[in-house]
Amino acid sequence: MPGIFISEATVPFDMYKHVVAPNAMNVYFVGETMDPVTTYYGTRLLPDFTFDDAPTADILVIPSGIGSHHSFLTSWYGGEDVDGVITGQTSNGQPVAYYGSSTALINWVTTASAAAQIVTSHCWGAFTLADAGVLNGLAVTTFPGYTATLAENYPAIGSLVDDQRYVVDGKVMTSNGAVAAFEACQAVIKHLFGADATDGVMDALVFSPENRGHVDLAYFRPSPAKEGDDPYTADVVMKVGILLLDGAFISEPTGPFDVFAHMGARMDVFFVGESMDPIQTYYGATMYPDYTLSNAPEVDVLVVPSGGESRGADLEKTAVIEWLQSAAGTASWVTSHCWGAFLLAGAGLLDGKTATTFPGYFEELRTAFPAIGNVVETHRIVRDGNLVTSNGGIAAYEAANYVVEQIYGEYHGKNVATGLVFSADNYGAIAAAYVEGSSPPPSPAAPSPSSTGAGDDSGAVKSQLVALSAIVCMSALFP
């Protein structure tokens, strides 16, 4: 639906697509029509099916958006009564009607929930499940700070939980959303296929130690909250340009996009493509550039995500390399995530610098680009001057927030971290960053990447039938 928060849709997509053969999952987006859906911060995603023709889902995912409840629209998003329906707007002025007023949506959610073997929501998506009556009598959670609102508006809900990243009751899972959605999806994957088959997903998406613990509900360690008043008074808009190429791993562009967009009017965030044609991400989602290499504005923050060809064909794209060199020349911050470091290196931007990349590819980066000064293997975020590189996956969210905090201060770093439901150590990655020229802080050790994770070219599965027809009770999570 229009106005969704992008990570609430793309995180489950990326998580489930990372499950490899023989358990590969067919993951798709469903919209009211086949028109591109404008997310709250303005970027667009293309549905694969409509409510009328979508296949029966084994796992139903309901993301969050500004239309999840009419009170959100009227409180924060310019909501007004339009022909009897509360309607607000996205950050770029596109109308968003209260989702609960859409008979087509609620009927589809009701029908799809009844047919699904597992029903999930993230963040405010629980409000849409509640509108469809799916949460009646159940224990549930939602975005932190909104359990009381959910209980007040939907008294048929059984109970509300505000001290867990996700809650399972029967076949229904509700999560806090954003980074907690990574953890909740991994709990579903682990339940279906077992730890041995799916640890590679956590490796591939660079889960932190606490992200891994949250998968098993071992504890509840949210990011620390902001304190005091906003100390940043400068009225400066930073332009953030994110390279968007065919084959991008979807969390690498969307994670930083969501982090920087959470700064509101203070950061103008956009995607830059080779042309204005839509691109296909590595796992098949369709995304849209806002500018091309030839007409993109000068950027203050340059973001280079990872993709399937970041170590290959993309390095041969002269126009891309030249744009990176030009954009970096005037940017205040130059960043990359996962294999995006290979593109920065190909543009000569890592010569003599200290950097990192996706775990397991450190030696390849050193060998391919011997002019790099140092490749760090022990830290999720590495900084050398105005250059910030990360391991990618969840670490891309952390590294983008590192830049936010360097520019705007701790108040905003914590505000973004809680808004995107970081665990405590996701926010702590800022203090744990390796900064060239200073004494490096200790970095918690994480398991080595699995050979079945993303980043393993030979094991990647792009399209397989859904392997969910027989759900085995491998844990106490689901019936």
What tens digit of pLDDT does each residue of 271-282 get? 999 999 999 999
State the pLDDT at residue 439. 65
State the pLDDT at residue 442. 63
State the pLDDT at residue 472. 25
pTM: 0.92
Please answer whether residues 137 and 157 qualify as being in contact, where contact means their C-beta atoms are separated by less than 8 angstroms.
yes
- Token digits of residue 172: 């229904």
State the pLDDT at residue 232. 84
Query: Please, what's the b/e burial string for 73-112 (b: 16 or more CB within 10 A of its CB; e: otherwise)?
Result: bbeebebeeeeebbbbbbbeebebbbbbebeebbebbeeb
Residues in the chain predicted with pLDDT less than 50, given as ranges, are: 444-477
* pLDDT tens track for 69-126: 999 999 999 999 999 999 999 999 999 999 999 999 999 999 999 999 999 999 999 9
- State residue 279 phi and psi, 5-degree precision: -110, 155
Q: Please name the helix (run of DSSP H) or strand (run of DSSP E) that holds residue 335, with its range, or none.
A: strand 333-337
Q: What is the DSSP pairing of strand 291-292 with strand 286-287?
A: unpaired
281: nearest Cα among 303, 317, 248? 248
Q: Provide CATH 3.40.50.880 ranges for the chain.
A: 6-207, 238-435
State the pLDDT at residue 79. 97
Identify the residue whose tokens are 């906003």.
Answer: 230
State the pLDDT at residue 475. 30
| The CATH homologous superfamily of the domain defined by 6-207 | Class I glutamine amidotransferase (GATase) domain (3.40.50.880)
State the pLDDT at residue 236. 80
- Token digits of residue 209: 């130690």
Q: Could you give the CA distance from residue 122 to residue 64 in angstroms, rounded to a whole number?
A: 6
| The CATH homologous superfamily of the domain defined by 238-435 | Class I glutamine amidotransferase (GATase) domain (3.40.50.880)
Distance of CA 235 to the CA centre of its chain: 28
Listed in sequence order, the DSSP H helices in 116-174 are 125-131, 147-153
Contacting residues for 119 by C-beta, under 8 A, at least 6 apart = 59, 60, 62, 113, 129, 134, 171, 172, 173
Asked, as a colleague might, if the bond just before 63 is cis with ω within 30 of 0, I would say no
State the pLDDT at residue 459. 31
